[in-house]
Amino acid sequence: EGIMTPFLDLRAQYRAIGPDLEQAVISTMRDGTFVLGERVERFEADFARYCGTSFAVAVNSGTSALHLALLAAGIGPGDEVITVSATFVATTAAIVNAGATPVYVDIDPATWTMRPDLIAASVTSRTRAIMPVHLHGRLADMDAINAVARQFGLLVIEDAAQAHGAERNGTRAGAFGDIGCFSFYPGKNLGACGEGGAITTNRADLAAAVRSLRDWGQEGKYNHVRQGFNFRMDAIQGAVLGVKLPLLDDWNAARRRIANVYGRALSPLVTVPPGPIGLDHACHVYAVRVPDREAVRAALLEAGIATGIHYPCPVHLQPAYRWLGYGPGDLPQSEALARETLSLPLYPELSADGVDAVIAALSALTTEPLAQTA
């Protein structure tokens, strides 16, 4: 209905690589191996190499990756995990599903990721891990977070679900902490044709535990050494991801180019992510901040431009997690981000005309800058 610039167009990617994907899927079907198997194993090896870790273990979703990372580390009832509320609900859900308790720290107003200087004050005798989130694909301040973790003897579990390929000083997302967690949901920078996820780690013990937990806690057939789950990756998804992984760096470069065009053009008008954006941002989402989000969103829709909101309500204020005891005002930066954030169309195949249309529509909205003069 009059959308000229979609928020995301997965069909554009399919048009580019459809024949390769179809061949990979059909050959998997003909083999008759539908769960795990050699295509998943090959993808695991390739993804570990890509992330710069010794191991990658493929699972059925990013949520499962987070859940099993915690369980593999022995984190459960009575334990606390320090994380952020400015994220998708899965980060908190995984902690709760493992039986542990999330403890939130606020985000940095510039980078929108975890503020390392707030972590120490939240550490208790029950704290076992820190779970930073690379929100929108921007790496959290991992050097500072790792330093606090070492000081208190805590594990670091990266929620890298949006940050495939983001790197800082030669280290990629998923290789900074003890264990990294990825989602291959179709809209992600590296997306499956369905659901999928993986953990990355340099620790053989954590990799082995996740490998067992994803497959009913087995070590060898019908030898169940721990309580496990059916969190295995489909062979078809392994095959699809194997086709796409070699293209990821080029796709990320295209995303960054678009993000930097947006940043230069829009910085006088709205609050944009600090730039220029470099390798440490995978640009999964390009969000700007506007004081009157609904009005801006409606005006852009009127101009044929679809937008997204990542995420309109921080997790600590979601009805399902009220029992954690947080309320409005407890995490002011996270709450402000949730109120003001508006995600613009961004995908590797987005045309220059599409980018220009977004910029023109936002520029036309106002002669007064929308950016808050903070």
Return the half-sphere exposure (C-beta side, CA atoms, 13 A cut-off) of residue 238. 26
Pairing relationship of beta strands 286-289 and 341-344 according to DSSP bridges: antiparallel
The proportion of the chain whose per-residue pLDDT surpasses 90, expressed as a percent, equals: 91
Mean pLDDT over each residue of the chain, to the nearest integer: 95
Q: Is the dihedral of CA 68, 133, 79, 330 positive or negative?
A: negative
Is residue 275 within 8 A of residue 259, CB to CB? The reply is yes
The pLDDT score that the predictor gives to residue 373 is 43
More confident residue, 56 or 366: 56
CA 34 to chain CA centroid, Å, is 26
**HSE value, Cβ hemisphere, 13 Å, CA-based, for 258:** 28
Q: Rounded to an integer, what distance in angstroms lies between the CA atom of residue 174 and that of residue 166? A: 9
With cut-offs at 50, 70 and 90, classify the pLDDT of residue 133. Answer: very high
Residue 372 confidence (pLDDT) above 90: no
- Distance between CA atoms of 14 and 346, rounded to whole angstroms? 16
Distance (Å, whole) CA 260 – CA 282: 12
* Range with lowest mean pLDDT among 73-77, 188-192, 226-230, 283-287: 226-230
What region, left, alpha or beta, does residue 127 occupy, with left being phi > 0 and alpha being psi -120 to 50 degrees? beta
